[in-house]
Amino acid sequence: MKHAYILLSLLLISGITSAQNKTATIDSMLNRTNRLGLFKGNVLVVDNNKIVYKGALGFTDASQTTKLTTAYRFHIGSIAKEFNAVAIMMLKEQGKLSVDDKISKYLTNLPAWANTIAIKNLLQYTSGLPDLKWKTVKNDADIWADMQKIDKLDFEPGTKYAYNNSNTFLQRRIIEKITGLTFNEFVAQKMLKPCGMSNSVIDPDDNTPLMAKSYNNNFQQSSLVYPITGWTAVTLDDFYKWEKALENFKLINPASTKEILTPFAPNKQCGLGGGSIEGNKIIIHEHDGTSLNYQALLTANTTLGRTVILMTNNKQNNLYDIGRAIQAILDNKPYQQPKKSVLAAFGKQLDSLKGQQIISFYNDLKTKYAADYGFDTEASLNEIGYSLKNNNRMDDAIMVFEYNTTLFPTSGNVFDSLGEAYYAKGDKEKALLNYKRSLQLDPTNTTAKAVITELEKK
């Protein structure tokens, strides 16, 4: 018995030491990432339902005078759309709407297309509505006026996917019409309060206390006033409370949760971002958001009792890299230290080059700056390739993606990117070849499966 007690004590000590080591490793990784200028913001890491790491790195605004603390609130971009999605399902459970209802049932004075769009289409971003005119709208009234001027949809509702805020705007207006409350009042009274989220604020302005303000790499600060209302800003603690409310079905039941956790098609977004639910248990929940120079990422795995929350007020487009590093540390696996983006630092030079010059320049940089830039992963060249593709430099993009497949020949992702570029160019034969190679390397690639099926029909 004595030996068993000693063994148990040693196991407990080992567990504590392991947790302490993980905390120290996460802290070291995040601080190096911060020193490289790649992350400024707040972080919460929960594993086995216990806090492993909670911290703040960086400053509250562009002046770089006041350091962040974990009490600061951040905008979380599209993750805040979870509030309107959950609100819709709350009203559904109360019998006040059906997701199959056409929006014209609740919103009048809209063109005839309102008779063809169901609430479910808004939740799944399949309405066919064009996006908001961000360059000209200044408030909700402007947006509503523009909505009334839309003469036709981009596609028939329910047939395609197009992620935009027109869907979000109309969800919030439907909630107001049914409840008689403003959307902000509904969120505050019916959602934040029941979830104990006492430190969250909706539509903060430049004078809101304890509000992190976003800024770019030139230290230009963005205003907190948005042209569309209804955005909830949260602290780390409140963000975690929201996630636990979803997992515990505090506001809506499992069936409703599944409806807004399941996207229209693989690799698309829905009301809660994405994830999986089995029976009465959310297994995985993941959602990212970007707004101005804010970015946020939440990943949760309930089987492991794990939640990782990242919020930044200085966008670097690398939260998934940081999240993967944290997950690897928690799993006692080697991790990739997040590094600087080659495209972000040398984009102008790359834009001035053509063909083989791009590869030569990339390799020259690799010999000089390997320690601080992400040359050791496929993501670096992929990012450059997509930049070229998005600027209609298709031949250069294909050359970059081809080169990436020689550097990372076992990655299904790089062959997927090459297939996508060939598809965009119109070379269906080479697109099919590379999508098949991608699927061979990564059998979970549902996008490749769908494209292969489409191409083989032709």
pLDDT in tens, 118-142: 999 999 999 999 999 988 999 999 9
Q: pLDDT category, 16, cuts 50, 70, 90?
A: very low
CB 157 within 8 A of CB 128: yes
Phi, psi of 41 (to 5 degrees): 165, -160
Q: Do the Cβ atoms of 272 and 257 come closer than 8 Å?
A: yes
Give CA–CA dist 436/334, Å, rounded: 30
| CATH numeric code, 342-457 | 1.25.40.10
| Model pLDDT for residues 415-428, shown as the tens digit of each residue | 999 999 999 999 99
State both tokens at 5.
């007690």
Token reading at 210: 């304890």
CA distance 42 to 310: 6
CATH number for the domain formed by residue range(s) 77-330:
3.40.710.10
pLDDT tens per residue, range 215-269: 998 999 998 888 899 999 999 999 999 999 999 999 999 999 999 998 888 778 8
Instruction: Give the confidence band of 319 by pLDDT, cuts at 50, 70, 90.
Output: very high
Q: What predicted TM-score, i.e. pTM, was given to this entire model?
A: 0.83
Q: What is the pLDDT of residue 268?
A: 84
**Cα separation of 174 and 112, whole Å?**
17
User: In 10 A of CB 386, how many CB atoms?
Assistant: 17
Residues 167, 131: Cα–Cα separation, whole Å: 8
Candidates 99, 144, 370, 143; CA nearest to 258 is 99
| 92-122 pLDDT, tens digit each | 999 999 999 999 999 999 999 999 999 999 9
Q: For residue 17, is it left (φ>0), alpha (ψ between -120 and 50) or beta?
A: alpha
Q: What would the two tokens of residue 198 be?
A: 């006492």
Tokens found for residue 154: 């981009």
The answer to whether 298 and 243 have CB atoms below 8 angstroms apart is yes
Cβ within 8 Å of residue 160, ≥6 positions away: 126, 128, 154
How far is it, in rounded angstroms, from Cα 265 to Cα 240? 28
Given a contact cutoff of 8 angstroms between Cβ atoms, the answer to whether 274 and 217 are in contact is no
Helix (H, G, I), strand (E, B) or coil at 287: strand
What are the E-state strand segments in 140-224? 201-202
Residues 6 or more apart in contact with residue 204 via CB below 8 angstroms: 73, 75, 211, 224, 233
Task: Note the pLDDT tens digit of each residue in 21-36.
Answer: 999 999 999 999 999 9
CA distance 417 to 381: 11
Domain boundaries, the chain: 77-330, 342-457
Nearest to 121 by CA among 96, 85, 152: 85
